[in-house]
Amino acid sequence: MSKIRLLFAKWLGNIDRRDEDKVRRFVFEEMPQKQREEEKVNNAFEQGDPQNARIEVEGAIERLVLEYMMDHTQLYMDHTQLYKEFTSREDFRSFVVDKLFGLLSQEKSS
């Protein structure tokens, strides 16, 4: 996990240090929990189609970041930056999707 944190910090280096942990918790704790509750994500995993499951995970990430931005004005700027990075940088988008998809895939196969 420390390697993931270092990569994450490298990619989001322009987020204020005091808020970096909040954003990291959102991505690696809150988003996976919310995705576990997403019907589309669960259905895609249950159907055993990894490609469709990945697409649903990616869509859920985008929806959750937007939802969170609307609900948490205090962290609005950090999540706006997170959304900007997620939608404009393919390397960052792939990193986040890979990690959350991997986490959910492991849980579903257990």
For the chain, domain boundaries: 50-110
Q: Residue 66 — very low, low, confident or very high, per pLDDT cuts 50/70/90?
A: confident
pTM confidence score: 0.55
Q: How far apart are CA 36 and CA 53, in angstroms?
A: 12
CB 23 within 8 A of CB 94: no
More confident residue, 73 or 81: 81
Torsion of Cα atoms, 34 then 35 then 37 then 40, to 10°:
140
